[in-house]
Amino acid sequence: MGPADEFEQEARRCGYRRIAGIDEAGRGPLAGPVVAAAVILPVHVRLVGVDDSKQLPEAERERLYPAILEKAVGVGIGVADAGEIDVLNILEATRLAMRRAIENVAPSPDYLLTDAVILPEVRIPLRPIIKGDALSLSIAAASIIAKVTRDRLMAAYHERFPQYNFLSHKGYGTAEHLQMLAQFGPCSIHRRTFAPVREAILSAPATELTLAGSGISPSRVS
């Protein structure tokens, strides 16, 4: 059984009407942003195939992405870039991206469901759910929106930094990516506080890519 709307129904029984599921993509990679999405779904919506994005092949995520956008009451995207991740740490940057996603939802949600993440600075009632992306339909939908958005961002970064082949590994620490890090050193979208990138900085020669700006906007991937 996949995600259901039981948590959303429970919130509605308590009087809430605009329940947003929130999830992120990109906490683990060595490069690129962390991307969050907030999705408000209508009552009794049918979205066949929606599941935790990690359980779906890329083609299925791409198929579901427009279906979610079409049926959702509201969708918001929030991004925290590599520089913010290095300053804040990955957990706080994830929270920042989620707050930005919430701010970008119209209409504004009156209740939030998250995949186990607590957002202390958000004043909207919130319920963190362990393994929420596998249990809540709106969180699962948010996980797909966040993942597809981030993958498209990384495809855009691949055009700017083809040496790293971001199109293939999306910034995760694969053997290929580590080899490219060792060969070229980090570029401007690498997370310098992550250990493999720190090690590459110490060992790799300086290149013009190290100081290059990323120049990619989330608006390019919508």
Residues contacting 44, CB < 8 A, separation 6+: 5
Which residue ranges in the chain fall short of pLDDT 50? Answer: 207-214, 219-220, 222
As given in the structure block, the two tokens for residue 110 are: 């009156």
pLDDT tens figures, 3-31: 999 999 999 999 999 999 999 999 999 99
Domain ranges within the chain, ordered by starting residue:
6-155, 161-215
The pTM for the full model equals 0.91
**Residue 217 has what pLDDT?**
53
Cα distances (angstroms) measured from residue 93 to each of 14, 89, 125, 181, 202: 31, 6, 21, 23, 25
pLDDT tens figures, 25-46: 999 999 999 999 999 999 988 8
Which of the four CATH numbers 3.30.420.10, 3.30.300.30, 3.40.50.920, 3.30.450.90 does domain 6-155 have? 3.30.420.10
Q: What's the rounded Cα separation, in Å, for the pair 183 and 186?
A: 9
Burial 135-157 (b: 16+ CB within 10 A, else e): bbbbbbbbbbbbbbbbbbbbebb
